Amino acid sequence: MDLFLDGFAWIFDPAHLSGPGGIWARIAEQLSYTFGAVAIAAVIAIPLGLWIGHTGRGRDIAVLSSGGLRALPSLGLLIIFALGIGIGFKAPLLTFVILAIPSLLSGAYAGVEAVDKRTVDAARAQGMTEWQVLTKVELPLGLPLLIGGIRSGVLQVVATATLAYFASGGALGVFINDGLKTRDYAELIGASIVVTALALVLEGIFALLQRLFVPRGVTAGQITEVRSRPVRPRAVVGSPIQEGK
Amino acid sequence: MNWVVNNLGLIWSLTLDHVALAVPPIILGFLISIPIGWVANRFHASRGVLLTISGLLYTVPSLPLFIALPAILGTGILDPINVVVGLTIYAVALMVRSVADALAAVDAGVRQAATAMGYSAWQRFWRVEFPLAGPVLLAGLRVVSVSTVSLVSIGSVVGVSSLGYLFLNGLQRNIIEEVASGIVATLVIAVVFDLLLVLAGRVLLPWAKADPTARRARRKTVETAIAGPSAGGSAVDDPAVSDPSMAGR
């Protein structure tokens, strides 16, 4: 446990905290990668996901491609981009956009798809246009899963942004690289604590956002009972059981 | 392509290292998550707590975890054990939710029938609930397998030999083929593992195709896993899954 104390001592050393290569500056870089990549991924993936969810077209392709993208090792992808388009911030950014797309895409289409089809039919029967059905019914009702997708995209990118230093892209991984090279274990542990804390803080913020941004009507209609109920609520004595009702 | 042809031996031996690092976490993660998932599903209070903890564990970034584990376990920083333990933690974090959802999706009527037939809780779990949960468990295991195979390469940053070596070495020597061959080999391993799991499912779970409820829960598990364990879309949120009497409507 002494190693962790050394790590904290490293973090709170004023010489490491501020300045152009300090911890705060690296955190800012890590967060710029995270939100930049997720924003770009959102522009691509959310409209596509909503369209797939609304029309039901291209669903299998979406599932397959998100699974396939997930299998890509992000370190390899980052390095191949670094060699291909050069070092700097572009290669990491491109990698993280690709990393975030599957989560956002599946969050968007799963959200729309999970909406009760009877509700959608009712909206249509009310005379809503397809656009209104999407924006006024499917989107609000699918919001929990959509935000969930954004949340897991952000978390994946914030964790992986540590690797940006392989393309000389800065961010918190710089400390890990230094620590590995100089065998400075306090720096390694300190940087690891900062990255982990950043991920946990973002997770907490998103858990909060998910509560705040979801319309009240959506959560009210959700089933809170997580355990499955028995098929028949009570024993039926003396009257035929209506199977397959 | 020259580099690939000249270094087939290296690629092959690193592929074997990669497989050796990926297999134990997948198996261990599966075995460890069964009792935890069972507890999560069995008691209402434990479900929220255990699923939150596993979600938080999955949030911990992999590189810091591989670095911090030697300090916790007392192992050397180059020890492959760190990578195996770290990946097992991720596997458990992903799989606990799958196990809990899979058990929750077992038809309550079947469970009641097994109890009525005189099965003890232990027998009922292994002979009725576990086999019926099989397809959803398999879906969870496939996600775990893919994510484990792709995460192993991060271990090479802390000096544990795997296909990740090709990425780092390729970067140093500026050989794009080397990096590309590492990516392709990783994808091949992921696909082979996936096919093996599907094949195992066909052999061990011949009834998997017939049951629409299980199929829906299975699809949901895959989607939840793709969207991330914290996405909130668990199988039991779907009323058709949690309430079997709704399934036919």
Are A71 and B150 in contact (CB < 8 Å)? yes
**Alpha-carbon span B113 to B177, nearest angstrom:** 59
Which pLDDT does position A244 carry in this prediction? 47
The pLDDT > 90 percentage for chain A reads: 7
Residue B243 lies in a domain: no
Please spell the DSSP secondary structure of chain B, one letter per residue: -HHHHHTHHHHHHHHHHHHHHHHHHHHHHHHHHHHHHHHHHH-HHHHHHHHHHHHHHHHS-HHHHHHHHHHHH---TT-HHHHHHHHHHHHHHHHHHHHHHHHHTS-HHHHHHHHHTT--HHHHIIIIIHHHHHHHHHHHHHHHHHHHHHHGGGGGGGT--STHHHHHHHHHHT-HHHHHHHHHHHHHHHHHHHHHHHHHHHHH-TTTTT-HHHHHHHHHHHHHHHH-TTS---GGGSHHHH-GGGTT-
B112 belongs to a structural domain: yes
Helical packing angle, A74-85 and A90-113, nearest 10°: 130
pLDDT attached to residue B242: 33
Task: Please tell me the number of Cα atoms within 13 Å of A232 on its side-chain side.
Answer: 14
Q: Which of A66, A155, A244 sits opposite B59 (nearest CB)?
A: A155
Q: What is the average per-residue pLDDT within A175-201?
A: 85
User: Which CATH number belongs to the domain containing residue B78 in this structure?
Assistant: 1.10.3720.10
Q: Is residue B239 part of a domain?
A: no
> Which is more confidently placed, B64 or B184?
B184
How far apart, in whole angstroms, are the C-alpha atoms of residue B194 and residue B241?
Answer: 26
DSSP secondary structure of chain A:
-HHHHHHHHHHH-HHHHSSTTSHHHHHHHHHHHHHHHHHHHHHHHHHHHHHHHHH-TTHHHHHHHHHHHHHS-HHHHHHHHHHHH-SSSHHHHHHHHHHHHHHHHHHHHHHHHTS-HHHHHHHHHTT--HHHIIIIIIHHHHHHHHHHHHHHHHHHHHHHGGGGGGGT--STHHHHHHHHHHT-HHHHHHHHHHHHHHHHHHHHHHHHHHHHHS-HHHHHHS----SPPPSSSS---SS---TT-
Whether residue B204 has pLDDT greater than 90: no
Reported as a single tens digit per residue, the pLDDT across B24-42 is: 999 999 999 999 988 888 8
Say what the pLDDT of residue B212 is. 58
Model ipTM value: 0.76
Residues of A in contact with B50 (CB under 8 A): none
Residue B111 lies in a domain: yes
C-alpha triplet A88, B165, B150: angle, nearest 5°? 85
Does the pLDDT at position B241 exceed 60?
A: no
Task: Write out the residue range of the structural domain in which residue B152 sits.
Answer: 2-232
> How many domains does chain B divide into?
1
From the list B92, B147, B61, the residue with the least C-alpha distance to A200 is B61
Quote the tokens at residue A141. Answer: 């009702």
In chain B, % of residues over pLDDT 70: 82
B118 touches chain A (CB under 8 A): no
Domains in chain A, please, with CATH? Answer: 2-221 (1.10.3720.10)
Residue type, B136: V
Contact B242 A223 (CB under 8 A): yes
Check: CB of residue B93 under 8 Å from CB of residue B30: no
Measured between beta carbons, which residues in chain A are less than 8 angstroms from residue B150?
Answer: 70-74
pLDDT of B216 reads 65
Tokens read off for A120: 């959608």
Residue B238 located in a structural domain = no
Q: The pTM is what? A: 0.78
What is the mean predicted confidence (pLDDT) over B204-233?
59
Written as six digits, the tokens of A206 are 């998103």
CA distance B243 to B233: 16
| CA gap B117, B133 in Å, rounded | 19
Tell me which residue has tokens 């069964």: B34
Lowest-confidence pick of A65-69, A172-176, B59-63: A65-69
- Residue B49 within any structural domain of the chain: yes
- CA angle (A245, B223, B184) in 5-degree steps: 145
Please indicate if any CB of chain A lies within 8 Å of the CB of B181: no
Q: Label each residue of A124-137 as H, E or C.
A: HHCCCCHHHHHHHH
Question: In this complex, which of B174, B233, B239 lies closest to A223 when CB atoms are compared?
Answer: B239
Query: Mean of the pLDDT values across residues B205-233?
Result: 58
- How big is the CA angle at B118 (ends B116 and B123), to the nearest 5 degrees? 115
In a domain, B76, yes or no: yes
Residue-level pLDDT at A219? 60
- Please judge whether A192 and B231 are an interchain contact, meaning their C-beta atoms are less than 8 angstroms apart: no
Chain A residues lying within 8 Å of B167, measured CB to CB: 73, 75-76, 79
**Residue-level pLDDT at A186:** 83
> What confidence score (pLDDT) does residue A65 get?
76
Structural domain includes residue B242: no
